[in-house]
Structure 1
């Protein structure tokens, strides 16, 4: 009887041609959320923030010791959480994450594809072996996670969210990080294609792409470096909490894209409107703002082929760290933001008329 009712409801939805934004997702306090790359940086901050908001957390990463400490910490604070040691570049490991969530909590409601690693080096110098390995994590890990989550939501017939963490380098090519940029371009293309196909089918899945700018995490310390000097963010950097805020917002509210920081949105727009100018701008600025004066970490210190050190939210970057992204705040409250902007515009117009 339930199958008949479900099929009838699905037929009505197909006739309606519902948009993704019309899906009703659970409140975070009622959710089970899977987070990959949860042992450090954005994933670690998101796991802690999600738990504090009442969600049950499934923390996945390669660093087993860090995951155990994280889950112990969350449980001591009265939250429900489990850990799964997994390499997202291995399809069987990704399925293991889903199986663990189902066994512990009966399923999951949001899957965050966050795990990532970068390579700093010229396009003509990075080895093909290293490129392939990085794509396993950054691109194929997203593919495996997305498909696993979609299968789960389709089987249980309750709406859920897939949240893929992209990059502003996925909207625009970058010098020195060509492999990472290429993998993130692939993530963006995959996410858009997946979203359109699911929406066409009226599938109960919200698909969101997060576009972070430069974030203060151990990202550079974990990277494989071909440079003489240590990779580092120099300039304006955003706190990882700003990305976590965007992730958790879209876990409750279906949204196509979330840009973290005006920096990310500006570069995406500039690249589309003035591509040749953007080429020159990035050639001029990126070489000197992606490393500092320290000697680069040796290849064996990177987390490309093994787990990096865990339980660090922030990195060793140099610059102006913004703890809040007003672009994220504005995206979360578009009506209020529009009203404020309109009020400011009206006030300026009135002042100009008086003059």
Structure 2
């Protein structure tokens, strides 16, 4: 059975990790598209401020201040959506926690915490959502990462967690297909996004953290998420650099290992002081409400690769047109490189500007040009 997905303006979306970064960008874009949203995060003050702003923009909003590591969070969030909007149509597992530092110096307690939030929170949310959507249809969208394919040095627990999210999402999708359920299961794999992630992560490096380039606008991920909410897709990679990294891991994994060992640490360290009040939200909520961080980096605001995945037919057409133009240009270039004939025809002016008076062989040659 094919997934049954509603247009966005008829949907209610559940979003975890909704007070900053990708979650907040998705909430804003969903309301702009006419959807209702049910938002979850730990920071109640930030949730209430965001809800007020989105309601003034015309959105239907419900919020729940809760930690997704709590076993009962998903049932409570689903109950809120049912009570307020009669149910939900898309569930977006976005909440995550992170650390910077070597695996040896990162306590197991912190590594457990990364999995409790990012992996078990996703598992709990997805299975709860499936129980509610299996009859009527809908979408489950899990936020993975390009680090689902190759780990980043000094982000070991986060990379491992995203590998686990990918494995769980793929397994869940196959079970949904086997059982013929009208539910779409999508994994979104962002490249490095310009979110407050480096400020929120617990950092054991000897310098402030940052994300390595290339950096993308988190609103691109929101675009991918909303597309997946209304259009079945197995996965979407956000950022052309992301697909390059994935292919590199397939073609030359050893080379990437050596490159990260040599340059990965420096690329993740910044001279910028961490803004007050936002650092380290591993166990406690901090100041929230920003989609982007204030690291002075170049940020790409478009992803042609994402557009190509969302519209593969148009992308193939453009590629074919490009190949055709390139082939035509090469043919023209080869023609232009041919030596001139030994006896070239006189210029047109020699015939008084009247082609009809030219000998037939020159008239025909001129018409071919």
Q: Which residue of 2 aligns with 1:198?
A: 176
Contact 1:56 1:79 in 2 (8 A): yes
Q: Which residue of 2 aligns with 1:144?
A: 124
- Residues 97-151 of structure 1 show CA distances to partners (whole Å, capped at 9, x for unaligned) of 1110011011000000001121001011100011111110011010000001000
Partner Cα distance (1:198, 1:88) in 2: 24
Match of 1:14 in 2: none
What is the TM-score normalised by the length of structure 2? 0.87
Distance in 1 between the 2:139 and 2:22 partners? 18
Q: Does residue 210 of structure 2 align to residue 268 of structure 1? A: no
Query: How far apart, in 1, do the equivalents of 2:126 and 2:97 lie?
Result: 18
Q: Which is higher, the Rg of structure 1 or of structure 2?
A: 2
Which residue does 1:244 correspond to in 2? 222
Structure 1: how far apart are the matches of 2:46 and 2:233?
A: 31
CA-based RMSD of the aligned residues comes to 1.6
Report 1:1-355 matches (<5 A).
Answer: 18=1, 22-154=2-134, 157-294=135-272, 301-354=279-332, 355=334
Determine the structure 2 residue equivalent to 1:12: none
Is the partner of 1:264 in helix, strand or coil?
Answer: helix
Q: Residues of 2 paired with 1:107 and 1:132: CA distance?
A: 32
Distance 2:83 2:47 in 1: 18
Conserved in 2, the CA contact under 8 Å of 1:240 and 1:314?
A: yes
The C-alpha deviation readout for 1:325-354, integer Å capped at 9, x for no partner, is: 111111111111110110110111122123
Report the counterpart of residue 9 of structure 1 in structure 2.
none
Q: Tell me how far 1:317 sits from its aligned partner.
A: 2.6
CA distance in 2, matches of 1:201, 1:117: 33
Q: Is the 8 A contact 1:33 1:112 kept in 2?
A: yes
Contact 1:230 1:297 in 2 (8 A): no
Contact 1:28 1:54 in 2 (8 A): yes
Residue 284 of structure 1 deviates from its aligned partner by: 2.7
Residues in 2 aligned to 1:297 and 1:310: alpha-carbon distance in whole angstroms: 12
Counterpart Cα distance in 2 of 1:136 and 1:235: 28
- Secondary structure at the residue paired with 2:267? coil
1:30-89 Cα distance to aligned partner (Å, 9 max, x none): 000000000111100100110010000101100101110111111111211111111111
Runs of 4+ in 1 over 4 A off after TM superposition: 294-300
User: Shift of residue 235 of structure 1?
Assistant: 2.7
Q: What whole-Å deviation, never above 9, does each CA across 1:299-327 have from its counterpart, x for those lacking one?
A: 99410001122111111334220011111
In 2, the alpha carbon distance for the partners of 1:104 and 1:77 equals 18
Which structure 2 residue ranges, 5 or more long, are not aligned? 335-369
Which secondary structure does the structure 2 equivalent of 1:235 belong to? coil
Give the structure with the higher percent strand: 1
User: What is the CA distance between 1:234 and its match in structure 2?
Assistant: 4.2
* TM superposition score normalised by structure 1: 0.91
Query: Do the aligned partners of 1:113 and 1:164 also contact (CA within 8 Å) in 2?
Result: yes
1:252-281 residue CA offsets vs partner (Å, 9 max, x unmatched): 001001000011111111101111111112
Q: Tell me the distance in 2 between the aligned counterparts of 1:318 and 1:210.
A: 26
